[in-house]
Amino acid sequence: MYMKMEGISFRGLTFMLAVAFLVWSSSLEGCHGKVRSKHYWRKNRVASPALYSKKGKAHSHGGSHKGNHHGSASKTKPRPSHKTPQPLPRPVTKPKPNIPRSPPPQKEGHSIMFNVLDFGAKGDGKTDDTKAFQDTWTASCKVAASTFIVPSKYVFLVGPISFSGPYCQPDIVFQLDGTIIAPTDFKVWGKGLLQWLQFTKLMGLTIQGNGVIDGRGSVWWQEISPYDDPIDDEFKLLIPLNSTVQEKPPPPARSELVGKMPRIKPTALRFYGSFNVTVTGITIQNSPQCHLKFDNCIGVLVHDFNVSSPGDSLNTDGIHLQNSKDVLIYSSTLSCGDDCISIQTGCSNVYIHNVNCGPGHGISIGSLGKDNTKACVSNITVRDVTMHNTMNGVRIKTWQGGLGFVQGVLFSNIQVSEVKIPIVIDQFYCDKAKCSNQTAAVALSGINYERIRGTYTVKPVHFACSDNLPCTDISLTAIELKPLQELYHLYSAYCWQTFGELRTPTVPPIDCLQIGKPSSNQIQYDFDSC
């Protein structure tokens, strides 16, 4: 019995040891597999974001232990995910605040409008509207192709003002349909100003409309000023037929303001240093001095323009050009007390046609060379012009002692009626009773006159050229001038040191013109000096 129990105990012990070994072996394999699994996840932690989610899910639900319990993780590498890796989320940026902007100005057509009434102008002819005009300009100056409006049916009293650049936008339109009047209070003018309304350093400016600029200049005309142009030399040729005719027109009735206004008389409307400017439609009347002046401008267009002042208004040129180029003037009527159009030094490429002139002193080049200065004028055309009751027709006038030249001038198809002297060259221009002779002179060459016809009341032609620098290349074609004796003694044609050719017979005969060129070899024309 004992032996049996011993045997059974041995066998049972042996069986128990075998079972224990198997259990220990299985437990050891499972731990190795778990270790490999941990090593794999650590190695591929950065490989794919998709694996991060798998690992997190396995940790939370124990799926990793279940799969690795079969030993697959220790024998086979896991397949890479077939899903496209998703990029890391970008940082969220806050939207910029929506800043409200002021609405753009209202437009009419293609232009932004600025009306002087909206800026405080009264337009009653009594209130000083100068500031309102200045404020309107300040606003319109900032907008390209804007329109400055001076409305009709209003009268605006405006003092001296400058509508200036150069920082204004281009192509501004000054729409003048109302009336602008100048102040007659002498205190407004101080010691005197050279201009009343001035536009400076602008590009593409247009002044248009059917309005009026009234300089109210009668209070100025009766005062002789040292700044005035001299009285034309041709007055000394006006010898009356009887004592009832006066050489100079009587002065107008004196005003109570005479003697109080400054001696410097302003130009009504002046452009300075501007490009491509246009004046059309408007009327300038009764200017204290010049009505419209262009100084240092390039590209000037004036058409359908009117000047209206009495013939006895001293030094009231209609249009005055100085140091300006590429000028076109046409379809205009100019009535004033001095030159309808005055062309001064520095002008070239000037074309004038279809202009009515009178009363006035005609269309003139000059005076040039005053105080021994240099003057240069070239390429001037004046054609299809009518003149009635003017002092001169077409004229060139220079001072003795001047330098420079006038060349390339054409006066064509000029119709004159009761004009005192239709054709004039005067190189002895003088503002005194007598001027001393000087050797130097502005050279005149290439002056052509053709189809100048009508009536004269004093002299048909007056050519007075320099003794030391004669006029050359003067041509006359189809000149027909008939005398009309009304108030003054008549003279025949006069020529002095004038050389050229008669291309056709003239009426009356102009026999005084010397055919050909001067014989002196000392005559020098310095056409490159300007």
- Please identify every residue annotated as catalytic: 361
Q: Phi and psi at residue 447, in whole multiples of 5°?
A: -110, 120
Planar angle of CA 85, 91, 96, nearest 5 degrees: 140
**DSSP assignment of 323-374, as one string?**
S-EEEEEEEEEEE-SS-SEEE-TT-EEEEEEEEEE-SBS-EEEEEE-GGG-E
**Other beta carbons within 10 Å of 27:** 9
Round to whole Å and give the CA distance between 58 and 77: 17
Amino acid making up residue 161 = I
Round to whole Å and give the CA distance between 74 and 34: 8
Round to whole Å and give the CA distance between 89 and 116: 60
Among 409, 375, 405, 358, smallest CA distance to 523 is for: 405
Q: Residue 50, Cα to own-chain centre: how many angstroms?
A: 71
Give the Å distances, CA to CA, from 527 to 342, 348, 434, 442, 443.
Answer: 22, 13, 30, 11, 9
Round to whole Å and give the CA distance between 252 and 221: 9
**Cβ–Cβ < 8 Å for 316, 289:** yes
Return all residues near 398 (Cβ < 8 A) that are at least 6 apart. Answer: 366, 367, 368, 369, 375, 406, 426, 427, 429, 441, 442, 444
Among 389, 406, 387, 414, smallest CA distance to 476 is for: 414
Round to whole Å and give the CA distance between 451 and 457: 19
**Cβ–Cβ < 8 Å for 352, 324:** no
The two tokens of residue 312 are 């006895």
Among 251, 188, 194, 246, smallest CA distance to 223 is for: 251
By CB atoms closer than 10 A (0-12, 13-18, 19+), residue 452 is: buried
Return all residues near 192 (Cβ < 8 A) that are at least 6 apart. Answer: 262, 263, 264, 265, 266
Round to whole Å and give the CA distance between 495 and 493: 7
**DSSP assignment of 26-74, as one string?**
HHHHHHHHHHHHHHHHHHTTTT-HHHHHHHHHHHHH-HHHHHHTTTHHH
The two tokens of residue 444 are 């005149």
